[in-house]
Amino acid sequence: MGLLSLAIWTPIFFGVVLLALGRDDQAHVVRWIALVGAVAGLAVTVPLYSGFELGTAAMQFVEKSVWIENFNIHYHLGVDGISLWLVLLTAFITVVVVVASWESITTRVNQYMGAFLILSGLMIGVFSAQDAMLFYVFFEATLIPMYLIIGIWGGPNKIYAAFKFFLYTLLGSLLMLVALIYLYTQSGGSFALADWYKLPLGGTAQTLLFFAFFAAFAVKVPMWPVHTWLPDVHVEAPTGGSAVLAAIMLKLGAYGFLRFSLPILPDASQKWAWLMIALSLVAVIYVGLVAMVQQDMKKLVAYSSVAHMGFVTLGFFVFSDLGVSGAIVQMIAHGFVSAAMFLGIGVLYDRVHSREIADYGGVVNTMPNFAAFALLFTMANCGLPGTAGFVGEWMVILAAVKANFWLGLLAASALIFGAAYSLWMYKRVYLGPVGNDNVKALLDINAREFLVLAVLAVAVLYMGIYPKPFTDVMDASVAELLRHVAISKLN
């Protein structure tokens, strides 16, 4: 079994074991088994980075075997500089979420931990699949554990949020399935992405396929105006669910644009780039303003995620090395920062059982250690230089300025809005005198919570101060992607 198969199936194996054997009266043992599974899943991804060859756009750690012979469907895996960091990020965040959920989940612990481990393996499968049908199976399968996580361990309106999440994403994916079948017939019966990259397609066909993929990937990102499911889901999801959703699952849609829309449909991608850029700027600016008026901390960070992911799609569709690389860096950075923001909100919710900003005030007086971490992550969310949140946004803004000055200026305005809603939330929650008796009774973070936040803080600072390892890995693959985009495929 290859490294990528191990990365996919190790957490899934442990997840299935937990579902089969775990019980609530064994919760302590279940948590340790889940941690062992998550750490094992992370450990098998480390050789992917240490053994990754720089300077080539070729797929590495490739595995290929026949899956469904009659339809020429293969179990075909591989990673390049675009997907490597997303695989590593998924495995890393899984460990963080398992540790963060150690005490907050007290019922059906085995099912909760099992669902997260299975979800982790499925998401790594999405980032590794080189066969379109295998990609689709993994892409759709991720809905099941996340649906259960929201619907079982969520808040008062969890069923509504879970159905909204499932229906939004499923509807878009059905259109993608139609597109995959069309490309299968046009390629003479192949689901291999490498074969599809060579297909000559007519202008009309490219446009129809572009919007079929848009329906699936834009909902997942989510782009404005198909983002409305995200705030509801974040508010109702348990803390771990929100962290994984923001840190990893939103990236599935963005990754889909890179693997399907741009290289397979270059002419349509360039033709409709103006629309993608416009929708991205609406997300960056308008949704940032919407975030500013939120009274629920989770909903504010959820809208913040929509705004930050707007930078990702903006970077893709300016079609430059700097823009695409910056967008991928932003995806990784947002994974660290958004996970930290949601886990921080979870720390407060576990103590006060409220996410309303008005129910806090002066938290720094009773939780100084936690407030220090929260300040770092808030600054990263603003895009402060020296943090992970700055690097990707700055690269995308530079790329946008090079493409068009006014485009860059509009994108840069998001830094102001981001600072406004992030710092205003921090001011109201953490600064000033103690707001009420609940805040007065708060205890600072324990050793486990400190460890989780410290690990994320190191990741945020390391990427912000020294992003070179991240960009070096992706340079050759980004150049190859843009080479595909530059070649017209009109037949």
- The pLDDT of residue 163 is above 90: no
- The pLDDT of residue 453 is above 70: yes
Angle ∠(385,422,340) on CA atoms, nearest 5: 75
C-alpha span between 113 and 247 (Å, rounded) = 17
Report the pLDDT value the prediction gives residue 157, as an integer from 0 to 100: 82
Between 275 and 106, whose confidence is greater? 275
Report the pLDDT value the prediction gives residue 22, as an integer from 0 to 100: 66
| 220 contact partners, CB below 8 Å, separation of at least 6 | 169, 172, 249, 250, 252, 253, 254, 256
Report DSSP state, residue 65: E
Between 136 and 226, whose confidence is greater? 136
pLDDT in tens, 77-87: 999 989 999 99
pLDDT in tens, 386-395: 998 888 888 8
Report the pLDDT value the prediction gives residue 138, as an integer from 0 to 100: 94
Query: Which residues, listed in sequence order, are joined to residue 129 by a DSSP beta bridge?
Result: 77
C-alpha span between 220 and 172 (Å, rounded) = 9
Closest CA to 391 of 243, 245, 399: 399
Report the pLDDT value the prediction gives residue 491, as an integer from 0 to 100: 59
Report the pLDDT value the prediction gives residue 477, as an integer from 0 to 100: 86
Report the pLDDT value the prediction gives residue 372, as an integer from 0 to 100: 93
Tokens encoding 87: 């695989």
Report the pLDDT value the prediction gives residue 85, as an integer from 0 to 100: 92
pLDDT in tens, 217-238: 988 888 888 777 778 787 888 8
Task: Report, as an integer, the average pLDDT of 10-28.
Answer: 83
- The pLDDT of residue 54 is above 80: yes
Task: Report, as an integer, the average pLDDT of 42-51.
Answer: 91
Task: Report, as an integer, the average pLDDT of 343-356.
Answer: 87
Tell whether pTM > 0.85.
Answer: yes
- The pLDDT of residue 7 is above 90: yes
| 197 contact partners, CB below 8 Å, separation of at least 6 | 263, 264, 484
Average pLDDT over the chain, rounded to an integer: 87
pLDDT in tens, 300-310: 888 888 888 88
pLDDT in tens, 195-211: 888 888 888 888 999 99
Query: For the ranges 11-25, 245-259, 271-285, which has the lowest average pLDDT?
Result: 11-25
pLDDT band for position 332 (cuts 50, 70, 90): very high
Report the pLDDT value the prediction gives residue 285, as an integer from 0 to 100: 84
Report the pLDDT value the prediction gives residue 111, as an integer from 0 to 100: 87
Phi and psi at residue 68, to the nearest 5°: -120, 100
pLDDT in tens, 96-118: 999 988 887 778 888 888 999 99
Report the pLDDT value the prediction gives residue 39, as an integer from 0 to 100: 94
234 with 245: CB under 8 angstroms?
Answer: yes
Task: Report, as an integer, the average pLDDT of 170-191.
Answer: 87
Report the pLDDT value the prediction gives residue 311, as an integer from 0 to 100: 86
Task: Report, as an integer, the average pLDDT of 435-443.
Answer: 81
Burial class (CB in 10 A: 0-12, 13-18, 19+), 214: buried
Query: Which residues, listed in sequence order, are joined to residue 356 by a DSSP beta bridge?
Result: 296
Closest CA to 324 of 190, 476, 189: 476
- The pLDDT of residue 121 is above 90: yes
